[in-house]
Amino acid sequence: MKIAVCLKLVPATTADIKISSDGQSLQLAGVETIVSPYDEYALEAALKLRETNAGSSIQIIAIGGDDALKCIHHAFALMADSAIQIKAPGVDARAAARCAAAVLKTSVPDVILCGRQAVDDDLWLFPGALAEALDVPHATAISSLSVAPSGKAFHCRRRIEGAEQSIEIQMPAVLSCDKGLNEPRAPTLKGRLDAKKKQAVAKTPAELGLSDADLQPALKVTRYAPPPQKSPGKIVQGEPAQAAAELVRLLREEAKIV
């Protein structure tokens, strides 16, 4: 089985990120970066598929500047077989999907795994855009994954409101992975040492046949702003009947939720 995994480097979820004074950008210099947490579930899913399907291989796709190599080094430490770094810093999810598709379209893998969403922009756009570019089916936010008895499809489950949805999806397919699908493993010391012997193949968008127009963002951010400050809470005092009436008034006239 040929398996591809798309990884993205994002600011750590515990990082203190500040907005620039003009509100047009974020101050990311010196901010700790990690593999997007949902992508970790995708990488672990790839490792499990390789373990249960003899002869399988895992290829990593990372898109961004030189810092994206951090994703590749992490995957190599977990024994990924090969990797491609696409040098396209600052591209949005749609352009990143076009870059990944340009690499994969010459020999579409049996499955392309990625995280449900990147935790920096939370767009949920990349998996669907990649599947559309490759003209293959896709399932989003899966919480269970197995190979069908035919060996030519996957059985997936995904959580929906109040229930779970079961899906059988034919190969090749794009699958985005949700929390709970698995428990991502940590690299071993041997894995870290072996990773130093591996090299990623670097490609530019131009080498993949993409033009500047292909990389134009689908969404333009005009301004960043911190969330509004929460107003202080109120304590309603008095006799129960009086306090209840005052609470209803506050909910109706001030909070406007009843």
Contact (Cβ atoms closer than 8 angstroms) between residue 85 and residue 200: yes
CATH assignment at residue 91: 3.40.50.620
What is the span of the domain harbouring residue 255? Answer: 229-258
Q: Does residue 117 belong to any structural domain of this protein?
A: yes
Q: Which tokens belong to 183?
A: 């428990």
CB 93 within 8 A of CB 121: yes
**Total structural domains within the chain:** 2
Q: Examine the domain organization and report whether 176 and 258 are in the same domain.
A: no
List the pLDDT tens digit at each of the 258 positions of the chain.
999 999 999 999 888 888 888 888 888 888 889 999 999 999 999 999 999 999 999 999 999 999 999 999 999 999 999 999 999 998 999 999 999 999 999 999 999 999 999 988 888 899 999 999 999 999 999 999 999 999 999 999 999 888 999 999 999 999 999 999 999 999 999 999 999 999 999 999 999 999 999 999 888 888 888 888 887 888 888 889 998 999 999 889 887 887
How far apart are alpha carbons 253 and 258 in whole angstroms? 9
In a domain, 224, yes or no: no
Q: Is residue 221 part of a domain?
A: no
Q: Are residues 63 and 139 in the same domain?
A: yes
- What does the alpha-carbon distance between residue 34 and residue 153 come to, in Å, rounded to a whole number? 32
* Shared-domain flag, residues 142 and 204: yes
Do 66 and 177 belong to one domain?
yes
Is 206 within the bounds of a domain?
Answer: yes
Rg of the chain in Å (alpha carbons) = 22
Q: pTM of this prediction?
A: 0.85
Question: Residue 222 falls within a domain, yes or no?
Answer: no
